[in-house]
Amino acid sequence: MNEVVSINLFPNPFENELHVNANRNELLEITIYDLTSRKILHQKFTNSVLLNTELLSKGMYFYEVHHGNNLYKKGKLIKD
């Protein structure tokens, strides 16, 4: 049986930092897009990462967390 992938992004809404935690001991990638699907931020990580989001404008963003071609999670984020 395959292990369930658990990925948490918090806080949401966020301000200047966004935490990403995963229960996978493998190289993952998070990509954050703006409302026009432009790639704003891309970071590789294993287990967890703290993203500096100071330069992002307030508003809504979309994210995807991948391992290779496997999409583990996607959703919306709000910056206050």
For 57-74, how does the pLDDT look when each residue is reduced to its tens digit (9 = 90+)? Answer: 999 999 999 999 999 999
What is d(CA 52, CA 3) in angstroms, rounded to the nearest whole number? 30
Q: Are 46 and 29 in contact (CB under 8 A)?
A: no
The predicted structure's pLDDT at residue 49: 97
pTM of the shown model: 0.92
Q: How many domains does the chain have?
A: 1
**CA end-to-end distance (rounded Å), the chain:** 40
**What CATH number is attached to the domain comprising 64?**
2.60.40.10
Indicate whether 33 belongs to any domain: yes
Indicate whether 50 belongs to any domain: yes
Indicate whether 2 belongs to any domain: no
Domain of 53, in residue numbers: 7-79
Indicate whether 59 belongs to any domain: yes
